[in-house]
Structure formats: C-alpha cells, structure tokens
Structure 1
Amino acid sequence: MKKFNFKRLLKFLVNRVFITGVLLAIQVALFVIMLAGFQEYFVYFYAICIVLSLLVVLYIVNDRSNPGYKIAWIILVLIVPVFGGLFYLLVSGSLMNRRVHKKMHVVEERIKAAAKADKEIIKELSYISEDAANEARYISRYAYSPLHKNTYTEYLPMGEIKFQKLIEELKKAEKFIFMEYFIIEEGIMWNSILEVLKEKASQGVDVRLIYDDMGCIMTLPYGYNRKLEAMGIKCCIFNPFKPVISSILNNRDHRKICVIDGHIGFTGGINLADEYINAYEKHGHWKDAALLIKGPAVWNLTSMFLSMWEYIKGVEEDYDLYKPEEEKLKAINSQGFVQPYCDNPLDNEPVGETVYLNLINKAKRYVYINTPYLIIDNEMVTSLCIAAKSGIDVRIVTPHIEDKWYAHMVTRAYYPVLLESGVKIYEYTPGFIHAKTFVVDDEYGVVGTVNLDYRSLYLHFECGAWLYKTESVLQIKEDYIKTLELCQEISLEECRKISLPVRFLRALLRVFAPLM
C-alpha cells in the first residue's frame, strides 16, 4: 500500500492556484445562495437581468471591438440571458475601469514624447520603397515606435542559441539591465540568468525585472519579487492576480524584452523557462525564435520597458538617462531598416494585427508564417485567402503536438477554408512550434511575441520587431525552409476525413474562440 504523503498534500493545499480556485468557488457559491434567498423576488430579478442582457447586446453591437469577438459574446449572452449580461460586465474588459485607462494614457503620452521619429530616415526609406515607408509611418504613429537604420540584427532560430547569447551579453553589462517576460520558471535557464543578474546588481548595475503574475502563477512562488529585491534586483509584477471575477484579468503582459546598457536588446517568443531551451521535453521538441538587436533601434525596447515600469510603479522615469552612448552607436554600420514596436490593448488600435495584414497585402511572391496558434478573425482569413488566390505562395507552420488541446482543435478548424484557397499548411512534427515570425519576399520580416490568436491580437500587451532588407530577413527565410523539412504538410483530403463529432466540436469551439 502506498504511503500517504502528508507533505505533498500540505503543499497542494497551500498552493496559490488551489487557494485561488477555492476563493473563486466560494464567490460563485455565495452568488447562488443569494439567488436562492431571493426566490420570492425571482420574477423581478429575472426581468432585470433580461433587460440588462438586452442593453449589453446593444452595447456590444455598437462597440468598436472585432466582429468575431462581438458574435461570441452576443451568442453567450443570448444563450444565458439571466446571467449573460452580468457576466459580460464582469469579465469582458470592454467596460474596464476608467482609472486604468487614464493611467495608461498618461504613460502613452510619456512614451510618445520620448519616441521622436527621425523623418529623414522614413524619407530615405520612401525613396527605396513607398510601401515600406507607409508601414513604417503607421508603426511610428500608432505604436510610438520610430524607424531606425544602422542597426545590427541577428535572427536566433532556437531557444538554446538565444540563451547562450543572452548570458554572454548580460555578463558585459555596465550600466543597466531591463528584463520583461511573460513566464519565468526556476530551472537551468532562469537560475543561470539569475546568477548573472545577482552579480551585476552587486556591482552597482541597475537591474530591473517585470514579470506577468498570471504567466508565472504556476511557475514562481507567491512573493517571489521580494526574494529578488533582497538580491538587489528591482522587481515589479504586472497585473497581480486576485481571486476576484474581474475584467482586468484579461489583459496580460505577454512581451519578452531584454535591454542591456541601451544598445543591446532581445525580443521574440522565448520565455525564461527550461522547455524553451529543450532542457526537458514538455510538448516534444520546442521550436522557438528570437532577435538580437544592436544599435539605435534598441531605444524602442528601452522606452517600452520604461513605460511599462512607470505604469506599474506609478513613477516618472527620466528616459534620457538610459540612452546609449553615441560612440557605441557609431561603431555599428548595418544595412536595412529596423523598427521594434509595441501593442497596447487599451488604445483600441490593433497594431499587431495591422502589421501582419500589411505584410500579407503587400506580398508579391511569398508569405511564410510561423505561429503556435491559428485562431484568426475574418480580416486575417480574408487576407490570407486573397493572397493565396492571387498566386502568392502562402505557407503557415503550426505545432503538431499541442500545449492546449482546445486551442489546437480550433487551430485545425481553420485549416479547410485556408487550404481551399490555396494556403499551404504544415505541422511541426517533432513537437511544439512557439515561434511567431513572418518573412515576405526576401524583403520584410517580423520577429516578436504576437500570436495569431484573439488574445495576442486584442487583449495582451505585445511587442515585435519589423525588419526591412536586413541580413536577418534572409536568416528567417533560411530557417523557415529548414523547418519545413521537419514538417508534415496538411492536405484538404485529410481535413475532410475528420469524423462528424470532431467537426462539430471544432465548429463549436471556433464560435467561442475569441473568448478563450
């Protein structure tokens, strides 16, 4: 007979996730008890809730949000009219606290002032390509992210390579290290980085870390920020998770940013956990990507980090203190144009999706895409299909081994309509592909954190780097071609052989995909 493990049970009972689940269950139970206690007034309660749900539907119809998001909510509210309207008000995020919007607006104004666009660089780009210049102008205006040249970029096609490069550059830090990540987990990768951060903090380097509380709820112990502060590492948590049903839980900091001394930066899909460097197998082989940036374009990442730090801490930073030394910038002479950018879910401007749509619509020969999720709206489906129908070679690589069964099922639900239009779809058979990359016509590239799903495109704080005619664009393409050799191409015939129950479940999940 197996011996009862009291320590394991105790650890489970004090686990933050378990306690949170219990508290949420208590809230639901109290709500049910309250309703039971008002049975004699149920008719009035029912009438009020129906009116509320109708008002909510009217609000949703006239809201500026994505049509797919609207449809999902309208169906949910109409299916459960008694609680649907109330549930929407609690968790949708559309009626988010005005204080949060006001606070973010103040930070936006600060980053706008810091991110002064160099009109001469865009003018220079317009002589080469007006299409490229138009997209650069859009990013500059709506993401407050100026265009740069003379910036070195190197595409890092695996987490292991990014990890090695990151450690090398961190050890060179002299002034400051800024890190902002969605997931951090103790293990080989993070512990190695932490040792360097501790050493640098002890040397007087300004070391700061932001991590998302929801992203780390299963990977870091509660109060981990205090442990880091005791090591001399300044730390703050984005949107601390509270066991209360609330709309603000929808907005997460999904960015991955590292800035070293203002002239070296990293971004891309790689979090700080061991599966990202294949130190252990979580969902088969983990394929990811990152971008190393050296030069003036790193300033965009610096200002992104500082703006988020200001937002969380409620302080004002002197951005000029963190500008790179001119001498170090002069030493860099690299071809092409680089524009790191951010996406803010509170400004009603879907920068991440618009950048992708512009790339698809401008393509003349090919569009190659890596994405872990393919849960897209009508605009994205239409653009991909039109491009393929027009003779553009459109290819999309998704995972073969899923990390979330429901997300993978919805991803596959989109295959038939895309395949019918000529889009080629591949699944990465060794495991899970987490890279978020676009490469177009040997000219354009994007490496970042933005997944092709509703959460990334509409609800999360994201970032990426737009590239035009840099050496790294061809590096992305080269890696993509190599990745295809490890992929299984999906045919339309395979999709049509799927059983009726699976088709029904996929269709049902696809309707509610915007809410996942």
Structure 2
Amino acid sequence: MSSTQEFFNRAKRRTADRGLRLLKQGRRGFWGLLFSRTGFLLVLIAVQAAFLFLLAYRLAGYATDYIFVWMAVSVPIVLALINSRMDSSAKITWLFLILVLPVLGVLLLLYTKYDIGHRKLKRSAREIVRTTRHAIRQDPGTWERLRYLHPETAGIARFLARTGCYPVYEASGVKYFPMAEPAFEDMLDRLERAKKFIYLEYFIIEEGIMWGRILEILAKKAAEGLDVRVLYDGTCEFSRLPGDYPEKLRALGIRCRVFSPACPFLTTRFNFRDHRKIMVIDGETAYTGGFNLADEYINLHCPYGVWKDAEVRITGRAVATFTLIFLQMWADEQEIDSLPDARLSSPDDPSGTGFVIPFADNPMDSYKVGESVYLSILNRAHHYVHIMTPYLILDGELETALRLASSLGIDVKIIVPGKNDNPFADALARSHYLGLLEAGVKIYEYTPGFVHSKVCTSDGGRAFVGTINLDYRSLYHHFECGVFLREADCISDIEADFQATLRQCRRITRRSVRREKTGRRLLGAVLKVIAPLM
C-alpha cells in the first residue's frame, strides 16, 4: 500500500473506541486550558493569591503604603476605562475585577489592552483590507435598485461597504441546507467538478470520514494541476491535527497554511481566531455556514445528540466576495497587490433572485459587523424575528434590542440547544433567560440535541446565515463571515426550517427558569460578571 493511500485511510478512519475519544477530549481540555485566556487568568489568580498572602503575613506593616500606591495606580486606570469606547458590559466586568482583585484586574486589563502577541496581525489585517478595498466594484444599477426597492436595507449595505469590500449583488443564487449532511454531499459533487481552483478556510479540520472524502478529491484535483489551498485555525494543533499536517498536505500537492499557530499562553492571540467556514470552487460556487470539517457535524459521532447545522451554497456573482475574503486571510502579499484578477470575476447566475451581500467580520478594526447585522434586522422588523444560535451570551446592547423588539409587539423567537457542548456557556445563557422572557421574547430548546446553526430570519424578506454566534467571542474576538439576504427565494426555506425545528423544541417559561437548580443559577450569575472574558 502506498504512503498516499495510507494517509487517506488514516484521514478517513473514525475512532470507535469510547475510551480513546474520552482521552482525546481530556487532552483537548488540558491544552485548551493551557493555551487559552482561561490559563492566563488562572495564573494571574495565583499571582493575586500569592501577593495577598505575602501582604497579610509578611508586609502587614506596609499595608497603608500599599493602599496609597495602589490607589494612585488604579484610579487613573479606572477613569480611563470609564471614558473609553469599550462596550458597557465589558466595562462593568473590568471594574468588577479591579475592585475585587486589584492586582489581577489591572494586570489583565493592561495585558489585553496592549494586545501582546497580535499587534503584527492587527497591522497586517488592516493593511490588507485597505489595499483590497476596491478589488470588487459595486454595480451601480444593483445599488440603485436596492436603494429604490428597499431603502432600509441600503443602510446596512452602506455600513458593510464601509467596513470592507462587500458589494450588493443580484444574479446570484442561494440554496439553503437545513442540515450538514445534504450540504456535505452537495460539496463533494461540486468539488468533483472543479476545473480551476479550490479554496478552503475552516475553523476546525479533523481526520475522519468527512475530511477523508474531501481530502481524496483535493489530492486528485491538485494532481490535475488545480490550485488547491487549505487554511485552518491554529487551535486545531492542540489536539485535532498534528503540527506537521501542512507538510503532509503539501506532499499531496495541496498548499496549506495555519492561521495563528498554537503558542504559549502568555499572549492574547487566542482571543483572535479564524472562526470562518468558507469553501470556494472555481469562483463559481461558495459555501458558508455553521459546520466545520469533522465527523460530529454530519452526525457520524454524536456526543450531544443530533447535531443540527445550517449551510448556504452561493452561485453567481456574489461568489467573488468569498474568494476575496479567503485571499485576504491567506495573505499572500504578491497576490494581494495584484488584485483584482480573474478569480474575482464570477459569472452571473440568472436563476438568482433578490439581493445578496456576503461579508466578513474582522476583530482588528473598530466595527462590530456581526452584531450590527443582527441589530439592523431587529431594528427594522415589523412582524417577527426568528433566530437559531448555539450560544446566547449577550452584551447589553443586543439584549436591549431583543427586549425592545419584543416589547414593541414583534414576535421574537430564539432556538438554543437542548444539549450544550459547553456547561459554562449553557449556564451563562440561562442567566439571560428571565430578563428576555419578561420582555416577551420566546425561548425554545432543541430537544434532539445541539443546534449549531447561526441563522436569523425576519418578516419573510430578510435573513442572515453564517458563522456568527450570539456570544462575545463571535461578536468581538473572532474572524467571522456570513451572507445577508433580501427577498431571495431561499428565505422561505430558511423560515420553513425554523418552523420545523420549532416543532422539535420545548418552550422555556419563567416558571421553568425559576425551578432551575440553584447551583446552575449561581454559576450563571457569577459567569455573567466575567462574560466578556470567556
């Protein structure tokens, strides 16, 4: 058997032994802790505890001097924090930490503010966006039709255009997949038909059946001379993939890069991860949505019951934006300087209807793109807003918008997982339930398992599908992407999927929230204080 075939077999092999899977999960938890903000937080807590112990037992006579010095240091920092442009929820978190744990709070604030570990990344990301801002031109006819037919959508379109090169498109088809399995089969079919290039950008890639089937096609297409590239986030190196995996792919003719590779925890690079999921084929077809390239997403491995994920396939002119988003993250300097080129000239899809706006969210700028899209939908709704999200960790602005919309008589429904993959995120989400329910927001838990879809529909004419969760990481700290839709045919399919999913849910009531276990409610209350750091 050839080494290449052995590589494919290993990629497709699915671990059946439960003990080994639990061991892998344990390693993932350990490395995730070691290289995460949580790891750094624990170190600073230890420093705080050691300092207080030293102060109490060794430096009791200097306590007054310590208080004076610390007031001189902390008061200016607190004043600067209050007058900063930081989100109000984050300000409360930092003020609480500085009040309760002064050493920890100030050190951690300075640590995150000065962005140790990703200053170069921030400069590079800003320069790439600036350089490619006009790589794709807005069709003036499309813009005028949008402004005339849907002036309220022209506002969010204008905002997205300011944040990057994200034109509004017509002549672009959008097909919605309510589950990952049919989307995966559709991907395989399109990959087999590729003639020019294949670009993949994913948060998670893991060896197994799903990735193995894709990899076989990628290697075959690379051997045929196609430009095949794979970009995945560095967190995969904690436990999903070995550190030399890019070299293994290059041996198959596949160009591979790792975004922000794993590094020691004394850095804020863990804050800024590439959470996007993008597949672009020949500049004619693009996919984005919630699922990564690992077996649990297509329910071959089911640790949390049925895994429900949504995806969209884009065809036509709008594919050009996804090609550009990938190339921006790939960051080949010569390619960026030479844009635009033929890869950004996507053909029309005459079957497409409505308006399509693909976009990306970049945490290195001052725009909160993902949150702004959600807020725009909520603020423009007249009848309903229906949301599916795996995590519900809201800042003050988004929670206020949800409550206000419901109070104004808009039917606001949110579907969240019945079985969550993160107990802390679950407890924190539940801490928002009572306030939302009292305002009339309806919350439902998906009983078969875990909803990982990031979907929003409103009034039958607006929708969003993408990678953006309703949590602090997605809204503030991650590279994300999605597509905003106006009057596209697939919006009815998205709403039909929401209604079908709703029939598999149990409704959360104020009574059921009050009957929650005291420990979980207490955990949620404590975590809510530090939610922006999670």
Paired residue for 2:415? 397
Q: Which amino acid is the alignment partner of residue 456 of structure 1?
A: S
1:336 corresponds to which of 332, 335, 354 = 354
Q: Could you tell me whether the CA contact under 8 Å between 1:90 and 1:245 is conserved in 2?
A: no
Report how many residues are paired.
502
1:373 corresponds to which of 351, 368, 391 = 391
Q: Which amino acid is the alignment partner of residue 498 of structure 1?
A: E
Paired residue for 2:230? 209
Paired residue for 1:5? none
Alpha-carbon distance in structure 1 between the residues aligned to 2:244 and 2:49: 34
Alpha-carbon distance in structure 2 between the residues aligned to 1:303 and 1:201: 21
Q: Could you tell me whether the CA contact under 8 Å between 2:237 and 2:261 is conserved in 1?
A: no
Report the aligned-residue RMSD: 2.9
Paired residue for 2:370? 352
Report Cα offsets for 1:260-296 as digits up to 9, x if no partner.
1111000011100111000111211000001000000
Higher mean alpha-carbon deviation, 252-261 vs 58-67, is at: 58-67
Higher mean alpha-carbon deviation, 471-480 vs 240-249, is at: 240-249
1:320 corresponds to which of 332, 340, 344 = 340
Q: Which amino acid is the alignment partner of residue 282 of structure 2?
A: D
Paired residue for 2:84? 63
1:473 corresponds to which of 467, 471, 491 = 491
Alpha-carbon distance in structure 2 between the residues aligned to 1:321 and 1:493: 59
1:257 corresponds to which of 274, 278, 293 = 278
TM-score (norm 2): 0.87
2:326 corresponds to which of 297, 305, 309 = 305
Paired residue for 2:103? 82
Q: Could you tell me whether the CA contact under 8 Å between 2:48 and 2:103 is conserved in 1?
A: no
Q: Secondary structure at the match of 2:424?
A: helix
Paired residue for 2:184? 163
Paired residue for 2:140? 119
Q: Which blocks of at least 5 consecutive residues in structure 2 are unaligned? A: 1-19
Shift of 1:70: 1.5
Q: Could you tell me whether the CA contact under 8 Å between 1:214 and 1:240 is conserved in 2?
A: yes
Q: Could you tell me whether the CA contact under 8 Å between 1:177 and 1:206 is conserved in 2?
A: yes
1:425 corresponds to which of 434, 438, 443 = 443
Alpha-carbon distance in structure 1 between the residues aligned to 2:519 and 2:70: 34
Shift of 1:322: 4.3
Alpha-carbon distance in structure 1 between the residues aligned to 2:248 and 2:265: 26
Paired residue for 1:382? 400
Q: Could you tell me whether the CA contact under 8 Å between 1:93 and 1:250 is conserved in 2?
A: no
Structure-2 change in CA distance of 1:498 and 1:456 (3 Å)? same
Q: Which blocks of at least 5 consecutive residues in structure 1 are unaligned? A: 1-7
Paired residue for 2:14? none
Report Cα offsets for 1:319-371 as digits up to 9, x if no partner.
33343566xx2453321010110011111100100011000111111111000
Q: Could you tell me whether the CA contact under 8 Å between 1:145 and 1:341 is conserved in 2?
A: yes
Structure-2 change in CA distance of 1:398 and 1:107 (3 Å)? same
Higher mean alpha-carbon deviation, 491-500 vs 440-449, is at: 491-500
Residue 236 (str. 1) matches residue 257 (str. 2): yes
Alpha-carbon distance in structure 1 between the residues aligned to 2:285 and 2:491: 19
Shift of 1:17: 7.5
Paired residue for 2:5? none
Q: Which amino acid is the alignment partner of residue 426 of structure 1?
A: Y
Structure-2 change in CA distance of 1:332 and 1:182 (3 Å)? same
Q: Could you tell me whether the CA contact under 8 Å between 2:280 and 2:319 is conserved in 1?
A: yes
Q: Secondary structure at the match of 2:317?
A: coil
Mapping of residues 218-229 of structure 1, within 5 Å: 218-229=239-250
TM-score (norm 1): 0.90
Q: Could you tell me whether the CA contact under 8 Å between 2:173 and 2:349 is conserved in 1?
A: no
Structure-2 change in CA distance of 1:27 and 1:469 (3 Å)? closer
